[in-house]
Structure 1
Amino acid sequence: MELKEFQSDTIIEPFRIRSVEPIRFTEMAERKELLARAGYNPFLLRADDVLIDLLTDSGTGAMSSQQWSGMISSDESYAGSSSFYRLESAVHDITGFEHLIPTHQGRAAENVLFTTIASEGDVIPSNTHFDTTRAHVEHAGAEARDLVIEEGKKPRSQHPFKGNMDLEKLKATIREVGVENIPVIMITVTNNSGGGQPVSMENIRAVSEIARDHGIPFFIDACRFAENAWFIKSREEGFADKSPIDIARQMFNYAEGCTMSAKKDGMANIGGFLALNSDELASECRNLEILTEGFPTYGGMAGYDMEAVATGLYEALDEDYLRYRVRSIAYLGDKLMEAGVPIVQPTGGHAVYIDAKEMLPHIDSLEYPAWSFNNALYLLGGVRGVEIGSVMFGKQPDGSEKPAAMELVRLAFPRRVYTQSHVDYLAEVIIAAYQQRDQLTGYEIVEGPEVLRHFSARLQPLG
């Protein structure tokens, strides 16, 4: 018997599930009470009261058998841990950077970096700073300036690399503020605040050249570097035959350093690092790390965390995993677009972003339309997402309010956690909320902190 080779168009999960965690089902009346008790802030809900939790993809993924194996055999020595050297080897192999400064998560790496290099009056350009990055820049007294291309501000634009930095605006910024007032140029891959959109290799190279021509260090916010590498492979000419790890190495080769939340493409539940080439800067950063994080060979991470990240960085670059990961996001995006739900297109690598500004024109930006729709998802189906809009980014350093460029609801997929049936249910909930969108009202903030208010603010519905 001779059979022709079978080619399937279905992309299946490139793993088997050997451990499961139960989830609790609730009724809408109970969720209404729970949301009110949480001050209408999904961050303040108990995780047990959430059915499908898409608040973040940060630290919420499932770890592999290889990661657990490494964790069991980890070295918990205070100084000179062998687990640190395994992590150092992995980071050096992938990024090429000479110095590794481990931290308990990405925002700690940002704190170490910006506390060391930034000061009052400085400007730090990026494609788009995310919330903690912006907060650390502003805490140091500097300005976090976003220079994403115009296509990156248009949810329906089909540009393949909407996370790119506007090169002319970068040059203009350098002329305006002066080289001496720009301690670093950053670029985020993928561009989280802009819809999880990737940055092209051509753009990374061009930003690097501008930075080097002016003697300004260039750093990458590398949280989702593996997903960005996949988009370069699948969308940018000349990279189709290259492996994700080789693409990642080329990306990092254009930079002098990176910050990393290993809770994303490190595939771990906690951890992060600052990696860089400068001996002098590394020495300064290590001195601050000892004060705020811990000894430089653990820096806020347990040995088993470092083992998990050392393995996870390679697993995130696996082609089968990346193909499945990106297709899972596109699968939900396709279902929503078929139903007319406005989303950021094309879909990114870690989340679907719903365009609440277009969906809810009757709610003013400073009445927080994305917050309203996000709460509707919880009320209708127990789904928790996060607002990327004027609650998160509307408060200015001088205390004034300014509408965010976009009003988005981000539904971030934890890695290797949910199955297709979860996504099918999720699509049903979103479409049901969309069909009732005329019934939704805005919100007002009744109390909250001055910085990163979205994490702990309490709100109430209007009307």
Structure 2
Amino acid sequence: PFIVDACRFAENAWFIKQREPGQGERSIKSIVRDMFELADGMTMSAKKDAFANIGGWLAVNDDDLAQKARTRLIQTEGFPTYGGLAGRDLDAIAQGLSEIIDEDYLRYRVRTNEYIVEKLDHMGIPVVRPAGGHAVFVDARAWLSHIEPLKYPGQAVAVALYEVGGIRACEIGTVMFGRAPDGSETPAAMDLVRLAMPRRVYTQSHADYIVEVFEEVQRMKDDLTGFEIIDEPPMMRHFTAKFAPLSG
């Protein structure tokens, strides 16, 4: 079966409307319907394109597959009737699914990312273009070319952003993908830093503040050093690994 990861379905529909020939006059709702009609099912994190604080679901259009999923649920979580979301959270999801397809909201959200990407690019900071819907991505390996990939330039950028301006970012690179099951380590294909934008939180002044922090980090980037991992779990180390800065 073809299962869609639908956590950012509205942002993807916005890009279809903006970028694909013949789609510009269509509503976001109609594009979303066409997207899901092509799939056999969907997974959804409601904390993303549903504006909710918690929750999610698996939906399929095959009764036999749904029964298999419920059986697996019993093995891993319990009976479907054992719990679930509170009524307040279900209401929030229902309202969020309605509001997320508002084109004025989507236009503002995407434009915020575009604005930051344009400013960083103008400063000479390498970024992934075109700008995405949920985040800004900085090419840390290219920006901090003096730091070897196995010394985690993405982590160096993330730490600098937090120390300079309190901005929390996420390394998506060698820390996340570089270690093989046998424990060996090779550089990932890229070392990016993701700045995921909260929904309905940031104003223009917040976007300008992010740019100002990058300006400060840009001035000190040649003095930044790499990091080493001093403690890591056997799996998914990027969530809980501990680091120490390397000496210059």
Q: Same fold per TM (> 0.5)?
A: yes
1:435 aligns with 2:213: no
Letter in 1 for 2:194: R
CA distance in 1, matches of 2:95, 2:198: 18
1:418 aligns with 2:179: no
| 1:309-368 alpha-carbon deviations (Å, 9 max, x no partner) | 121112111111111111111111111111111100000001111110110111111111
Q: Residues 389 and 298 from structure 1, CA distance in 2 versus in 1: closer, same or farther, beyond 3 angstroms?
A: farther
Q: Residues 340 and 298 from structure 1, CA distance in 2 versus in 1: closer, same or farther, beyond 3 angstroms?
A: farther
User: Are 1:294 and 1:300, in contact at CA under 8 Å, matched by a contact in 2?
Assistant: no
SS at match of 2:25: coil
User: Are 1:293 and 1:300, in contact at CA under 8 Å, matched by a contact in 2?
Assistant: no
- Which residue of structure 2 aligns with residue 317 of structure 1? 101
CA distance in 2, matches of 1:430, 1:297: 49
User: Are 1:290 and 1:299, in contact at CA under 8 Å, matched by a contact in 2?
Assistant: no
User: Are 1:343 and 1:354, in contact at CA under 8 Å, matched by a contact in 2?
Assistant: yes
- Which residue of structure 1 aligns with residue 168 of structure 2? 384
Task: Count the aligned residue pairs.
Answer: 247
CA distance in 1, matches of 2:43, 2:82: 16
| 1:271-297 alpha-carbon deviations (Å, 9 max, x no partner) | 111111121121111122244345436
CA distance in 2, matches of 1:256, 1:437: 47
- Note the C-alpha offset of 1:400: 2.1
Partner of residue 347 from structure 1, selected from 110, 124, 131: 131
Partner of residue 179 from structure 2, selected from 395, 398, 406: 395
| 1:391-422 alpha-carbon deviations (Å, 9 max, x no partner) | 11112233221211111111111000111111
CA distance in 2, matches of 1:301, 1:449: 31
- Note the C-alpha offset of 1:375: 0.3
SS at match of 2:23: coil
- Which residue of structure 2 aligns with residue 125 of structure 1? none
1:277 aligns with 2:37: no
- Note the C-alpha offset of 1:298: 7.5
What's the % identity of the aligned pairs? 59
Partner of residue 239 from structure 1, selected from 6, 9, 23: 23
- Which residue of structure 2 aligns with residue 408 of structure 1? 192
SS at match of 2:65: helix
Q: Residues 431 and 292 from structure 1, CA distance in 2 versus in 1: closer, same or farther, beyond 3 angstroms?
A: same
CA distance in 2, matches of 1:281, 1:303: 27
- Which residue of structure 1 aligns with residue 235 of structure 2? 451
Letter in 2 for 1:242: R
CA distance in 2, matches of 1:331, 1:372: 24
Q: Residues 298 and 422 from structure 1, CA distance in 2 versus in 1: closer, same or farther, beyond 3 angstroms?
A: farther
TM-score, length-scaled by structure 2:
0.95
SS at match of 1:223: coil
- Which residue of structure 2 aligns with residue 365 of structure 1? 149
SS at match of 1:383: coil
Highest RCO, 1 vs 2 (Cα 8 Å, sep ≥ 6): 1
CA distance in 2, matches of 1:398, 1:254: 39
Larger deviation: 291-300 or 412-421?
Answer: 291-300
SS at match of 1:399: coil
- Note the C-alpha offset of 1:455: 1.1
